[in-house]
């Protein structure tokens, strides 16, 4: 029996890319998956496809920048399946890409609302549910931008640095209560975000050949790996898929 059998997993930003791949993979491993996104069209389709394939999934509209939405999402997951075992804080934005003096304040702040507040709201709502039942796992999707500076990405770098701090703080405060808090820095992934980055033409990341981006299914496989006992070695830190060591641990090809 899979370690995910009858476990409940909530995934934000599940309408495409990493979130969609994670939902499909974890459902295939036996999890009850709750897909969350601002609009329900894609997540309802994905959930229906998962169920048709024999999995258990449901879709729930949620704007992670709104606390009440996230609170309702977590409550819905518990109402449906009786428990919350895993939260994947995946929802994130990078547009609009611009140098600081050219940035749009409203757009810059929207990235903060989703990338930082959205993660905080997830933590705030999930932790009480998990600790009441003995614990759970939370995966924050991070980035190398958390510890680096890239032109045009001030909003993304700043918010991912904040997410790394939230990962560390959550681990410090709640590891003793059964919360397994891990960040995951996947590197560049073949998603729509890379299309926006390429189009911007700003900083070296936009110049990368698309062939170097890893498939989102690799990230999904890594999320499953970190949810298992092997993930204990990375509590309170960011696990990186940009190293040969990290990829080997998950069983993925080495960095080329």
pLDDT tens across 170-196, in order? Answer: 999 999 999 999 999 998 887 777 777
Q: Let me know if residue 189 belongs to a domain.
A: yes
What pLDDT shows up at residue 194?
79
What total number of domains does the chain contain? 1
Catalytic residue among 81, 156, 174, 234: 156
Q: Let me know if residue 255 belongs to a domain.
A: no
Q: Let me know if residue 42 belongs to a domain.
A: yes
When pLDDT is averaged across residues 12-41 and rounded to a whole number, the result is: 97
Q: Let me know if residue 2 belongs to a domain.
A: no
Q: Let me know if residue 256 belongs to a domain.
A: no
| pLDDT tens readout for residues 70-125 | 999 999 999 999 999 999 999 999 899 999 999 999 999 999 999 999 999 999 99
| pTM for the whole structure | 0.95
In whole angstroms, what is the distance from residue 143 CA to residue 111 CA?
15
pLDDT band at residue 243 under the 50/70/90 scheme: very high
pLDDT band at residue 17 under the 50/70/90 scheme: very high
Q: Name the residue range of residue 72's domain.
A: 8-249
Q: Where would I find the beta strands (DSSP E) of 157-247?
A: 179-185, 238-240
What pLDDT shows up at residue 8?
98
Q: Let me know if residue 17 belongs to a domain.
A: yes
In sequence order, which residues have a C-beta less than 8 Å from that of residue 92 and are 6 or more positions away?
13, 114, 115, 118, 141, 159, 193
Q: Let me know if residue 41 belongs to a domain.
A: yes
pLDDT band at residue 201 under the 50/70/90 scheme: confident
Q: CA 22, 24, 26, 31 torsion: positive or negative?
A: positive
In whole angstroms, what is the distance from residue 248 CA to residue 256 CA?
13
Average pLDDT across the chain, whole number: 94
When pLDDT is averaged across residues 207-229 and rounded to a whole number, the result is: 90
Q: Which range among 16-30, 54-68, 75-89, 187-201 shows the weakest confidence by mean pLDDT?
A: 187-201
In whole angstroms, what is the distance from residue 170 CA to residue 123 CA?
8
Q: Give the CATH number of the domain where residue 166 resides.
A: 3.40.50.720
pLDDT(1) > 70? no
pLDDT(36) > 90? yes
120 is catalytic: no
Q: Let me know if residue 122 belongs to a domain.
A: yes
When pLDDT is averaged across residues 203-221 and rounded to a whole number, the result is: 85
């Amino acid at each position: 029996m899979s370690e995910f059998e009858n476990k409940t997993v909530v995934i934000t930003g599940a309408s495409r890319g990493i979130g969609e791949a994670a939902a499909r993979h974890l459902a295939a491993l036996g999890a009850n998956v709750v897909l969350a996104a601002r609009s329900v069209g894609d997540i309802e389709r994905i959930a229906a496809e998962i169920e048709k394939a024999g999995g258990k999934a449901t879709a729930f509209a949620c704007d992670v920048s709104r606390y009440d939405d996230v609170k309702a999402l977590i409550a819905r997951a518990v109402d449906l399946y009786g428990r919350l075992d895993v939260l994947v804080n995946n929802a994130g934005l990078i547009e609009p890409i611009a140098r600081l003096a050219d940035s749009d304040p409203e757009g810059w702040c929207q990235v903060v609302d989703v990338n930082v507040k959205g993660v905080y709201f997830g933590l705030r709502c999930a932790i009480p549910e998990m600790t009441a039942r003995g614990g759970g796992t939370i995966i924050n999707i991070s980035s190398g931008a958390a510890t680096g500076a890239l032109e045009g990405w001030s909003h993304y770098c700043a918010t991912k640095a904040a997410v790394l701090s939230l990962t560390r703080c959550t681990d410090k405060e709640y590891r003793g209560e059964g919360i397994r808090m891990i960040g995951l820095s996947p590197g560049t992934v073949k998603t729509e975000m890379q299309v926006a980055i390429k189009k911007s033409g700003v900083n070296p990341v936009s110049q990368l050949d698309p062939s170097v981006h890893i498939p989102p299914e690799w990230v999904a496989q890594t999320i499953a790996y970190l949810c298992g006992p092997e993930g204990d070695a990375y509590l309170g830190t960011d696990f990186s898929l940009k190293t040969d060591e990290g990829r080997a641990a998950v069983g993925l090809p080495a960095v080329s």
